[in-house]
Amino acid sequence: MVLTRRATHAGSWYTDSGYELSKQLEDWLNAADLSHGPARAIIAPHAGYSYCGGCAGFAYRQISPVVVRRIFILGPSHHVRLPGCALSSASTYRTPLYDLTIDQEVCRELEETGQFEWMDMNTDEDEHSIEMQLPFIAKVMQDFKNEFTIIPILVGSLSPDKEAIYGKLLAPYIADPQNLFVISSDFCHWGQRFRYTYYDRSCGPIHRSIQNLDKMGMDIIESLNPTSFTEYLKKYGNTICGRHPIGVLLQAIQSFKENCINQKMNLKFLKYAQSSQCNNITDSSVSYASASLVLE
């Protein structure tokens, strides 16, 4: 039986008009330079496209669609308490452009590790972190739309040890040049409504303090050191919602490098933006950042 996950955020978080959406995505992709590709993994934001579409375009511009045949999408769970990671029970994911097919063979391989559970359709359709990546994926891959599959993975609140477990499980997949990893994450959620108001006054305005805080985290992610990233999060508590998917990626890279000693990997952030500039304690903002990982 074919189970299709609806595009539940189309019409609110992004347009449900296929023509209009295709044009928007094309404009954002064309505005970005191909400067750090072909990507083996990307980090991209998952807010409404009016806020982060331009930023996300920089990550997706680095993808070489002619190479990619399987796309792993790791998104944080916003609504459901999840101690590990969960796979989708759907067969296809709908987008206003065309439907994306889930790779049942890879899902079975992951299930057989005993480390994954299945999310029900309600959980799947409520979650936006994976869905917001789908139209960009569909657009970038449109010339090969019948030649690739996706593997959506919902990532729960993982301990560093669990991030290492999932990283080791996914490392063999990141080693395959036909696989692409999409890590879905926004960066700092600042303001009283997010219960996070860290402010380093030496930076000047609040928005500069936020940028400095995010930049610290981005530099650590670029260093590909999962332990340093965990320590940074403990020290500053930065509200990076995709911190666990990022942690899994860093652990997968570390495991891959241990097995392929001569293989160099380089992760680079290409674009940073904020939804608004905070100047007062009553203000709030969400930060967005796009990155690309390449094998050298």
Dist CA 181 CA 25 (whole Å): 20
How many whole angstroms separate alpha carbon 92 and alpha carbon 6?
A: 9
pLDDT for residue 52 is more than 90: yes
Mean pLDDT for 37-56 is: 97
Query: Rounded to 5 degrees, what angle do the CA atoms 139, 285, 7 make?
Result: 30
Distance, C-alpha 128 to centroid of its chain:
11
Query: Running DSSP on this structure, what letter comes out for residue 13?
Result: T
Q: How confident is the model at residue 1 (pLDDT cuts 50, 70, 90)?
A: confident
Mean pLDDT in residue range 239-243: 97
pLDDT at 263: 83
Of 125, 178, 117, 126, nearest to 153 by C-alpha is 117
Cα distances (Å, whole numbers) of residue 124 to 12, 33, 107, 241: 17, 33, 15, 17
22-26, 167-171, 179-183, 256-260 — which is least confidently predicted? 256-260
Domain boundaries, the chain: 4-295
State if pTM tops 0.85. Answer: yes
pLDDT digit string, tens, across residues 60-71: 999 999 999 999
207 Cβ contact list (under 8 Å, min separation 6): 274, 277, 278, 279, 285
The candidate with the shortest Cα–Cα distance to 134, out of 148, 122, 118, is 148
Strands 100-101 and 41-44: unpaired
Nearest-angstrom CA–CA distance, 167 and 247? 8
Distance CA 76, CA 249 (A): 13
Q: Is the pLDDT of residue 262 over 80?
A: no
Domain 4-295 indexed as CATH 3.40.50.300? no
